[in-house]
Chain A
Amino acid sequence: MIKGLKRFTEWLVHTQIWSSIFRQGWPDTERNRILTILNTCLFHLHPLKVRTHGLKVKYTFCLGGVSLFLFIVETITGVLLMFYYRPTVEYAYQDMKDLEFAVTFGLFLRNMHRWAAHGMVLTVILHMCRVFYTGSYKPPREYNWCIGVSLLVLTLLLSFTGYLLPWDQLAFWAVTVGTNMAKATPLMGAEGPFHILSEMSDMCFYLRGSVDISENTLLRFYVLHCIALPLAAVGLMGIHFWRVRKDGGISGPL
């Protein structure tokens, strides 16, 4: 039985199809394991070898990786939700109801998108705490810490812009409260200290695209939520992961 299995894999990894996909043999020798990392697009983000220290779950609690995974879940469920959602005052709420009652697995999809978003905010904050408490922001990782802080801000903005899209009372008023703050910006807000701009041209107006929350706001938040902010996050994550490697891999005691 085991012999048969072995013969089968032996045959499999030598077929043309297999070797066109995986450029190395079965990863059971050191050589093939190294090649697996080097040759696989997904894995080449990883270093060849990792310090045993950084492998311990108790060290990172996998929080950075889980943040990334939740971001990917958000991307996939988000794209699926976009098939059903139209960002207009007329349809947005109706489309939510349709997702709930008419679309197959629509409710599940929306739930997943929502809970993964909350989860990501939490894991990113916890990841920041783990990086702080292990002193992993110290040289040479200062810059990557700053990239991380920007990612935290982006994560919060992504969550916040998504909050408006269902166009229900919860969304509408949470975003009213949130964007009202922009009115209080010193100089640039219509009600802030030393204000110089009117209600028609201040920070809050640029956020909302109108004086009050309207269809313009919905469209702005939609575009930010589905295109601008995710692209920015992907870009920064690229730099973040690249820097983890360039800064000498995951931190550890000297």
Chain B
Amino acid sequence: MQERIDEEKPKEAASEIPKKPEKLLAFPHLVFKEFIALMLVSLVLIIISMVLNAPLEEIATPTKTPNPAKAPWYFVGLQEMLVYFDPWIAGVMIPILIIIGLMAIPFVDKNLKGVGIYCFRERKFAFVIFTIGIVAWFGLIIFGCYFRGPSWLLYLPWESWDIHKPVISKGTYILPLFVGLPAMIGYYILGMWLPILFARNFYKTLGSTSYFITMFFILSMFGFLGKIPLRFVFDIKYIIHTPWFSI
């Protein structure tokens, strides 16, 4: 197992020339590790498949709606967002923005440092924003899976779903348009403008196009998440309400 490619070279010489990355032959080093991973995953999968049965409920009956009707876990985050937003946002706009936002990451991240290592120090900003997104995503999933019962009401995981629960308000206050619209526009304008003033370097290194795209997605993410406390604390239903759409 010692077929290091540059083994003949004396150690000192190697440190003078720009260090070439050390390489090993794919066979056996990589292939064996892949094989071990394959065996371990197979083992786990076989054991799980023997002890846990895939769910199968009664035959589909269009006239009998179960309560609650939960989506598969990976979509429960979106389903939870339905509490706070109309379906066109929770079910259409948020997924689309997430997909476009993810694809935009490599093009707006101008920081070329921190490649190839798990490194927080050299890319704090990207690290923090992405982590907030992932944690929020899984937070919503866990909340939706374990803390929601019949009628999507709040039930603790150990509580029986037979307990009667008071209906939680889906928000009572609808902000009038002359408050809601300026508030939302103000949120985006301030959110984009303040960093230009106070974090000029950040703005300059990104360049204006990347900066505005980045900020749009970040502000939207915090905006979507921000409506959750708005609902719980101020009981706000819509920030903007028009006959055609509401946010």
Interface residues of A (CB under 8 A from B): 27, 30, 33-34, 36-37, 43, 46-53, 55, 57, 62, 65-66, 69-70, 73, 93, 96-97, 100, 107-108, 110-116, 118-119, 121, 128-129, 132-139, 141-142, 145-146, 149, 152-153, 156, 159-160, 163, 166-174, 176-178, 180-186, 189, 191-194, 212-213, 251-254
Q: Which one, A52, A193, A251, contacts B244 given CB within 8 A? A: A193
How many angstroms from the CA of A202 to the CA of B127 in the assembled complex?
Answer: 40
Q: Are the CB atoms of A133 and B26 closer together than 8 Å?
A: no
Asked if B132 is an interface residue, CB under 8 A from chain A, the answer is no
Chain A nearest CB from B39 CB (Å) reads 10
Size of the chain B interface, CB-CB below 8 angstroms: 73
Q: Are the CB atoms of B86 and A184 closer together than 8 Å?
A: yes
Query: Given contacts A112-B49, A134-B117, A213-B62, is CB(A55)–CB(B130) below 8 Å?
Result: no
Asked if B87 is an interface residue, CB under 8 A from chain A, the answer is yes
Query: Given contacts A119-B45, A149-B103, A171-B60, is CB(A181)–CB(B27) below 8 Å?
Result: no
How many angstroms from the CA of A50 to the CA of B23 in the assembled complex?
Answer: 5
Chain B nearest CB from A88 CB (Å) reads 12
Q: Are the CB atoms of A181 and B92 closer together than 8 Å?
A: yes
Complex interface: stretch among B104-112, B188-196, B201-209, B217-225: B104-112
Query: Given contacts A46-B30, A108-B49, is CB(A34)–CB(B79) below 8 Å?
Result: no
**SS class, residues of chain A in contact with chain B:** helix
Q: Which one, A65, A129, A132, contacts B34 given CB within 8 A? A: A65
Q: Which one, B52, B60, B75, contacts A178 given CB within 8 A? A: B75
Q: Which one, A113, A153, A212, contacts B99 given CB within 8 A? A: A153
Q: Are the CB atoms of A160 and B75 closer together than 8 Å?
A: yes
Interface residues of B (CB under 8 A from A): 3, 5, 21-31, 33-34, 37-38, 41, 45-46, 48-50, 52-62, 64-66, 69-75, 78-79, 86-88, 90-92, 99, 102-103, 105-107, 109, 112-119, 123, 127, 130, 134, 244-245
Set of chain B residues within 8 Å of A181, measured between Cβ atoms = 78, 87, 90-92
Q: Are the CB atoms of B62 and A46 closer together than 8 Å?
A: no
Q: Are the CB atoms of A100 and B45 closer together than 8 Å?
A: no
Query: Given contacts A93-B59, A93-B60, A141-B106, is CB(A252)–CB(B116) below 8 Å?
Result: yes
Query: Given contacts A93-B59, A253-B116, is CB(A112)–CB(B46) below 8 Å?
Result: yes
Q: Which one, B29, B45, B107, B116, contacts A116 given CB within 8 A? A: B45
Closest to A193 in B: B245
How many angstroms from the CA of A253 to the CA of B90 in the assembled complex?
Answer: 39
27 contacts between A and B (CB under 8 A): A30-B25, A49-B5, A50-B24, A52-B24, A53-B21, A65-B34, A93-B60, A111-B50, A116-B45, A119-B45, A134-B118, A135-B119, A135-B123, A138-B109, A142-B107, A145-B105, A145-B106, A149-B102, A168-B57, A170-B55, A170-B66, A174-B70, A177-B69, A178-B71, A178-B75, A192-B88, A193-B88
Q: Are the CB atoms of A115 and B49 closer together than 8 Å?
A: yes
Known: A69-B37, A108-B49, A170-B55. 8 other contacts (CB 8 A): A46-B31, A47-B26, A65-B34, A66-B41, A159-B74, A167-B59, A186-B92, A253-B116
Set of chain B residues within 8 Å of A43, measured between Cβ atoms = 26-27, 31
How many angstroms from the CA of A112 to the CA of B53 in the assembled complex?
Answer: 9
Q: Which one, A33, A113, A137, A185, contacts B27 given CB within 8 A? A: A33
Q: Which one, A48, A173, A183, A253, contacts B69 given CB within 8 A? A: A173
Set of chain B residues within 8 Å of A213, measured between Cβ atoms = 62
How many angstroms from the CA of A136 to the CA of B56 in the assembled complex?
Answer: 40
Q: Are the CB atoms of A169 and B60 closer together than 8 Å?
A: yes
Query: Given contacts A153-B99, A251-B115, is CB(A169)–CB(B58) below 8 Å?
Result: yes
Q: Are the CB atoms of A111 and B244 closer together than 8 Å?
A: no
Q: Which one, B25, B33, B59, B106, contacts A169 given CB within 8 A? A: B59
How many angstroms from the CA of A93 to the CA of B58 in the assembled complex?
Answer: 9
Query: Given contacts A36-B27, A193-B245, is CB(A166)–CB(B56) below 8 Å?
Result: yes
Set of chain A residues within 8 Å of B130, measured between Cβ atoms = 132-133
Q: Which one, B56, B88, B103, contacts A185 given CB within 8 A? A: B88
The CB with the most chain A CB atoms within 10 A, among B3, B23, B60, B92, is that of B60
Q: Are the CB atoms of B3 and A30 closer together than 8 Å?
A: yes
Q: Are the CB atoms of A115 and B48 closer together than 8 Å?
A: yes
Set of chain A residues within 8 Å of B56, measured between Cβ atoms = 96-97, 100, 166, 168, 170
Q: Are the CB atoms of A194 and B34 closer together than 8 Å?
A: no
How many angstroms from the CA of A191 to the CA of B49 in the assembled complex?
Answer: 41
Q: Which one, A27, A33, A111, A174, contacts B52 given CB within 8 A? A: A111
Q: Are the CB atoms of B62 and A172 closer together than 8 Å?
A: yes
Set of chain A residues within 8 Å of B41, measured between Cβ atoms = 66, 69-70
